[in-house]
Amino acid sequence: MAAASKTTGEGWSSRRAFVLAAIGSAVGLGNMWRFPAEAGANGGGAFVMFYLLCVLLIGLPVLLSEVVIGRHGQSNAPESVRRVAEESGKSTGWALLADIGVLGAFMVLSFYCVVGGWVLYYIGVFLGDIFTTGIVGGAFQGRDPAEVEALLPALFGNGALMLGLHVAFLAITFFFVARGVSGGIEWVATWLMPAFFILFVAITFYGAFTGGFDEAVSYLFTVDFSALTGPVMLAAVGQAFFSLSLGVAGMMTYGAYVGRDVNLAGTSGIIAAADSAVALLAGLCIFPIVFAAGLEANAGPGLMFQSLPRAFQDIPFGSVIGLLFFVMVFFAALTSSISLLEAPTAWFKDRFRMPRPIATGIVAGGAMVLGGFAAWFFGQPVPVVSGIALFDGQDVFSVLDTATSRILMPIGAIMTSLFVGWVASRRLIDSENGLSGGLHHTWLFLVRWACPLALVVILIVGIFPSIV
């Protein structure tokens, strides 16, 4: 079943390819790095439960809305929205929602590849360790734990290395996107996602025998309702959105390459379920190893890059497990960065009628510069935003993160749900979404009321955090 899109002539070769690519987009650093760090920083169980609720009630309905628009429009995201609006007899100005998304994708791509660079760095570190101390015993033998934890700050302090790693990760992403949907993006997804899952299950299994497993389970699944504060809820919603790749036109773009015979509701359910399962398992993979080494759960962003390498010191075959772990994270991150590069690329390619490799090169070049600033000036506050409360004291990296997760992603998602719920023709949407009966009514209620209202609250609180 070839599903070539009307405009682009490109498409997934099968439903399986779409499912793998979309899961590849969703599963990434958000699951492996951000989720355990956020869960740890926000008290564990209460955060996890609320996160799952957000995935089900807000994330999934918006995800379905995005792929519905994409498949109907069969084009790059803004053009797809324009077509749906036109066929519904409504203003094509709604395309703005996807313009915002495309911009958001470009900004997320820029800082995402910086973190991708750190993953490459740790692959190098563990490889080097295997060559110097062998595979038996723990990683970094003979080195002080403090020395291992100091690797990350040392990396952060080295602007040239940060820049080089960022460019390397971006170049790998570019290579596959430039080759096209079925030739590049699909190829990576169909090979790397299964490889990711095998490594992931193996390491989680290993973690289960390290002694910290019971502690990890009770940490992640014991819900203390008093811990469910405003900031915890906000963090959970933001995490659900980031993890499902929503609000940045990515899923809309992938939806345009899907064949007519695919049931979008069922497929979206599979994508959301797989993404959440990986996030939970990432917790069950990382926390046992961290707990077994007697380390704390609330290390935040340093959890994966600092605590975990330190924990690998204490476990048998630590350097091999460490290497495999970071290779696995690399696979997950690459399939996500590919989707981030694809959304602006598809738009550029159609808008300016240029060959794919050139469009890919222009977008990647822009991300190289913007992300280059984020990498080079990591940790150094940006003077121009110092008066703005939301960004005060932040470096380029954090400004990009905050601007996208707190502003652009929620706005994109609010507009998407309003557009699908109220503006687009009911007949058109109903013929695409693959839902019927009670489920259809529930979805409609969620996109019409629950999602926009919840998201507006999130947007306001996100911009004025002092309210909660």
Check residue 305 and report its DSSP letter.
I
Rounded to the nearest 5 degrees, what angle is found at the Cα of 261, between the Cα atoms of 450 and 335? 70
Closer to ligand PHE by Cβ: residue 115 or 299: 115
Q: How far apart are CA 336 and CA 203, in angstroms?
A: 21
Q: What one-character-per-residue DSSP string does 239-286 give?
A: HHHHHTT-SSSHHHHHHTT--TTS-HHHHHHHHHHHHHHHHHHHHHHH
- Interaction pattern, residues 249-288, with ligand PHE; x per rule: CB under 6 A: -x--------------------------------------
Please tell me whether residue 248 binds ligand PHE under the rule CB under 6 A. Answer: yes
Q: Which parts of 225-244 interact with ligand PHE (CB under 6 A)? A: 242-243
H helix or E strand, kind and range, residue 121 = helix 96-133
Rounded to the nearest 5 degrees, what angle is found at the Cα of 220, between the Cα atoms of 250 and 238? 30
Please tell me whether residue 116 binds ligand PHE under the rule CB under 6 A. Answer: no
Closer to ligand PHE by Cβ: residue 105 or 418: 105
Rounded to the nearest 10 degrees, how much is the dihedral formed by the CA atoms of 209, 211, 214, 220? Answer: -90
- With CB under 6 A as the rule, give the number of residues binding ligand PHE: 15
Q: Applying CB under 6 A, which part among 20-28, 173-181, 198-206, 349-357 lies near ligand PHE?
A: 20-28
Residues near 441 by Cβ (< 8 Å), separated by ≥ 6? Answer: none
Exactly one of 8, 25, 74, 267 binds ligand PHE (CB under 6 A); that residue is 25
Contact 283, 215 (CB under 8 A): no
Q: Applying CB under 6 A, which part among 8-16, 25-33, 253-261, 376-384 lies near ligand PHE?
A: 25-33
Closer to ligand PHE by Cβ: residue 139 or 189: 189
Q: How far is the CB of 358 from ligand PHE (least distance, A)?
A: 23
Q: How far is the CB of 343 from ligand PHE (least distance, A)?
A: 8
Residue nearest to ligand PHE (CB): 30
Q: How far apart are CA 22 and CA 268, in angstroms?
A: 9
Please tell me whether residue 29 binds ligand PHE under the rule CB under 6 A. Answer: yes
Q: Per residue in 426-446, is it b (16+ CB within 10 Å) or e — as a string?
A: eebbeebbbbeeeeeeebbeb
Q: How far is the CB of 315 from ligand PHE (least distance, A)?
A: 26
Amino acid sitting at position 123: I
Residue 451's nearest CA partner among 55, 25, 141 is 55
Q: What one-character-per-residue DSSP string does 157-190 give?
A: T-HHHHHHHHHHHHHHHHHHHHT-IIIIIHHHHH
Closer to ligand PHE by Cβ: residue 29 or 262: 29
Q: Which parts of 306-365 interact with ligand PHE (CB under 6 A)? A: 336, 339-340
Length of the chain: 468
Closer to ligand PHE by Cβ: residue 77 or 139: 77
- Interaction pattern, residues 128-167, with ligand PHE; x per rule: CB under 6 A: ----------------------------------------
- Interaction pattern, residues 68-107, with ligand PHE; x per rule: CB under 6 A: ----------------------------------------
How many secondary structure helices (H) and strands (E) does the chain include? 24, 0
CA distances, 220 to each of 41, 51, 191, 279 (Å): 12, 12, 31, 11
Q: How far apart are CA 378 and CA 158, in angstroms?
A: 9
Closer to ligand PHE by Cβ: residue 60 or 315: 60
Contact 417, 61 (CB under 8 A): yes
Exactly one of 11, 24, 30, 45 binds ligand PHE (CB under 6 A); that residue is 30
Q: How far is the CB of 404 from ligand PHE (least distance, A)?
A: 8
Phi, psi of 12 (to 5 degrees): -70, 150
Please tell me whether residue 26 binds ligand PHE under the rule CB under 6 A. Answer: yes
Residues near 183 by Cβ (< 8 Å), separated by ≥ 6? Answer: none
Q: Applying CB under 6 A, which part among 26-34, 77-85, 88-96, 427-435 lies near ligand PHE?
A: 26-34
Closer to ligand PHE by Cβ: residue 115 or 315: 115
CA distances, 4 to each of 11, 74, 372 (Å): 4, 9, 35
Closer to ligand PHE by Cβ: residue 173 or 210: 173
Q: Applying CB under 6 A, which part among 23-31, 147-155, 262-270, 317-325 lies near ligand PHE?
A: 23-31
Q: How far is the CB of 338 from ligand PHE (least distance, A)?
A: 9
Closer to ligand PHE by Cβ: residue 106 or 219: 106
Please tell me whether residue 28 binds ligand PHE under the rule CB under 6 A. Answer: yes
Q: Applying CB under 6 A, which part among 28-36, 187-195, 215-223, 459-467 lies near ligand PHE?
A: 28-36
Q: How far apart are CA 435 and CA 303, in angstroms?
A: 40
Residues at the contact surface with ligand PHE, assessed by CB under 6 A: 25-26, 28-31, 108, 242-243, 245, 248, 250, 336, 339-340
